[in-house]
Amino acid sequence: MTQPLCVMLVAGEASGDDRGAGLAQALRRRLGGQARFVGVGGAKMAAEGVQSPFDMAEISILGLLEGLLAYRRVVARVKDTIALAEREKPDVAILIDSWGFTLRVAQGLKARWPDLPIVKYVGPQVWATRPGRAKTLAATVDHLLSIHRFDAPYFEAEGLPVTFVGNSALNVDFSGADGARLRDDLGIAPDAPVLLVLPGSRPSEIARVLPAFADAVARLKAQRPDLAVVIPAAPTVAEAVKAQAGGWALIVEGEDAKLDAMKAATVALACSGTVTMELALAGVPMVVGYRLGAFTYAVLKRMFKPPYITLFNIAAEDFVAPEFMQDACNGEALAQAVAERLDVPGMRYLQIEAQYAALDKMGRGGPDPSEAAAEAVLKLLAQRA
């Protein structure tokens, strides 16, 4: 009897956990019972059978100084991941986003098993900063699954085969989402304005971004006592969010509640990241805020090429959603931008349409990325057989 294909999936943050779970589902559909999954991930990948040897939050790190401070912990978790591969003997390793961690894992796997096919799912943003990473990645993995159409030339120039699979954030299914259900569950009046607050999925983002968001909410509610504030908390930071925002926001957990909240929202105040595309897909006008450590920001400000940080703003080449970075990400500025959208329906409608147009440029409505990724992985394995 043929042994099931052993697929190693490694993710280090919430968006990677989502992509890993989707890919596991797509591979299982194609392979039936002839697949088993091992690796590192969060709650969504655990539901697909990936039992992580440690909490994914330990490696969810953003920032240069933060990376240096966490170096010993990251190296230890890399060793744990290599040890897991030693025990499970995977037939293929798929490393999802999380550049610093997954690069070290790839290098460890390649040194130990030179013939193991290694796939990187989501490449580093070399079009924005650090183009040398394309060469580094090409020397370490066998194939790249890209979520951006403009990725390929940068990596193919270094000899790394690339398959464009699309961005899963552009294929979120809102057909079952119900904003009225969320309002009913939380006791929010049907006509009350709802501000959705999304402070990020990394502990460092909660520490840096949430205080500014909290200040903005306090200012807004002082003038609008009927404003309902809802936070869909990512599993990786749910406890921290409850501890810091439980007194001023209604906090919901789980994917269904998050999608319901997006359909109920009037305006969103969001940390830069994948969630901004999900909000745009749901038709929610938003204000984007972000803060990095001072050292990281000083370095990246010199290296980062685009004038925008939000992906659909980059695609549109315009500030479709207003962005407030670093010191500009403060309660007064954020509250003013959100207030304008709460008070002027026409501004909301124009922003929603501009967001949709930007998503169309990025491939909205294209094939399911998880299915495309599964097909590319199986094709690579067939070529290696």
DSSP string, 267-333: EEEEESSHHHHHHHHHT--EEEEE---HHHHHHHHHH--SS--SHHHHHHTS-SS-EEEGGG-SHHH
Asked if residue 302 and residue 217 are part of one domain, the reply reads: yes
pLDDT digits (tens, 9 = 90+) for 52-109: 999 888 877 655 555 566 678 888 999 999 999 999 999 999 999 888 899 999 999 9
DSSP state at residue 96: E
pLDDT of residue 105: 96
Q: What's the pLDDT band for 293 if we cut at 50, 70, 90?
A: low
> What residue numbers bound the domain in which 209 lies?
179-362
Average pLDDT over residues 27-41: 93
Q: Are residues 186 and 162 in the same domain?
A: no
183 and 147 inside one domain: no
Q: Is residue 108 part of a domain?
A: yes
- Both 110 and 27 in one domain: the answer is yes
Token duo for residue 21: 């779970």
The answer to whether residue 173 is domain-embedded is no
The pLDDT, as a whole number, for residue 62 is 58
| Average pLDDT score over residue span 156-168 | 93
Strand order in the sheet with 143-146: 35-40, 5-11, 92-96, 118-121, 143-146, 162-164
pLDDT digits (tens, 9 = 90+) for 236-246: 889 999 999 98
Q: What are phi and psi of 35, to 5 degrees?
A: -155, 140
Q: In terms of domains, do 354 and 373 share one?
A: no
Q: Identify whether residues 15 and 120 lie together within a single domain.
A: yes
Does residue 334 sit in the same domain as residue 372? no
Mean pLDDT of 344-372: 92
Q: Considering the domain boundaries, does residue 172 fall inside one? A: no
Q: Compute the half-sphere exposure of residue 245: CA atoms within 13 Å on the CB side of its CA.
A: 30
Count of alpha carbons within 13 angstroms of residue 110, beta-carbon side: 17
Overall size of the chain counted in residues: 385
Which one has a higher pLDDT value, 202 or 121? Answer: 121
Average pLDDT over residues 251-278: 95
Does residue 304 surpass a pLDDT of 70? no
For 213-242, the pLDDT digits (tens) are 999 999 999 999 999 999 999 888 899 999
Do 158 and 185 sit in the same domain of this protein? no
What is the domain-level CATH number for residue 113? 3.40.50.2000
Q: Which residues of 296-329 are buried (b: 16+ CB within 10 A; e: fewer)?
A: bbebbeeeeeeebbbbbbbbbeeebbbbbbeeeb
Q: Please list the residues that pair with 143 across neighbouring strands.
A: 119
- At residue 381, the pLDDT reads 95
Residues 129 and 206 in one domain: no
> Mean pLDDT score of the chain, rounded to an integer?
90
Q: Give me the pLDDT at residue 204, please.
A: 84
What phi and psi values does residue 110 have, to the nearest 5 degrees? -65, -40
Quickly state the pLDDT bin for 1 (edges 50, 70, 90). Answer: very low
pLDDT of residue 243: 93
**pLDDT higher than threshold 80 for residue 374:** yes
142, 229: one domain: no
Would you state the pLDDT for residue 67? 59
Question: 124 and 215: one domain?
Answer: no
Of 43-57, 106-120, 343-357, the one with minimum mean pLDDT is 43-57
pLDDT at res. 365: 79
Question: Worst-scoring range by mean pLDDT, 19-28, 305-314, 362-371?
Answer: 305-314
In this structure, are 40 and 76 located in the same domain? yes
